[in-house]
Homo-oligomer: A and B are copies of this chain.
């Protein structure tokens, strides 16, 4: 195995060239990476200077950066993936503009006979509340009918495609009858800050299920490669709650009282245990006060 003077990220190394299967023919494969948790700390310390240099403060600094949206140090890491996905997934994915992409071109090369065919259980009804979502399952008969039509549709499309190529039609025209369920592939490179943004949008329940599968595959890799960042990302993004101005106002007006704690000291002790970080305890107490919560 070749040697390098670069920082080596063992969590990332184990994923190199180990594709994660996604849907029926797709995958996500880590091809290369730059950086690790400490690369973020290193970059941040150029800005924030010498007072923060103790090694045991890395976790605290990363959490501080992510909590306060100091995003530039996270841009100091890069991940490069090779991915294969249906065209309709690629069309949602490509909307994230701060990434580098090289996609398979059906003008240059012949498309493979690979179409995404959902599993029966994935075939769900149109949601009524959520205009962009799915709801409950269809009946087995409905599922069967749909899958049969989809399969024969794909076959017909590819048969025509082959016929067009046989006749000699230019590839760039022969492919226009191929549907958005056909697979494409690309190299996709992105910095960690923008990848986290991508994940927060594409792991969300409002994202189409098929792209969430790919987002979750990448999340797995990020979690191993940047454990401190991932922990902070879960705490301050994925599992955080945002209250609007009026929601804060409502909560402060309904007269919230705790039924569990007796006094300030007990509260502080509890907070120190739960939160740990001093500054964050202070930040929380400010919110507690804003929400006008009384100790019961």
Contacts and interface: CB of A to CB of B under 8 A. Distances in A.
A57 interface: no
A33 B32 contact: no
Contacts of A88: 175-176
Contact of A172 (B132, B172, B235, B246): B132
Contacts of A271: 250
Contacts of A170: 124-127, 133-135
A269 interface: no
Given A102-B43, A187-B43, A255 B244 contact: no
B72 A172 contact: no
Number of copies of chain A assembled together: 4
A254 B258 contact: yes
Contacts of A287: 241, 243, 247
A135 B171 CA distance: 11
A181 B177 contact: yes
Interface of A: 1-8, 13, 16-17, 32-35, 39, 42-44, 46-51, 67-69, 72-73, 75-76, 78, 80, 82, 86-88, 91, 94-95, 97-98, 100-105, 107-109, 116, 118, 122-127, 131-135, 138, 142, 145-146, 149-150, 153-154, 156-157, 160, 163-164, 167-173, 175-181, 185-187, 189, 191, 201, 206, 208, 234-236, 238-250, 253-261, 270-271, 274-275, 280, 284, 287, 290-291, 293-294, 296
25 contacts: A1-B3, A3-B3, A4-B13, A32-B34, A32-B39, A47-B104, A48-B108, A49-B104, A51-B131, A75-B189, A87-B180, A105-B132, A118-B176, A127-B170, A142-B169, A156-B156, A176-B180, A177-B181, A236-B245, A239-B245, A240-B242, A241-B287, A242-B242, A242-B243, A256-B256
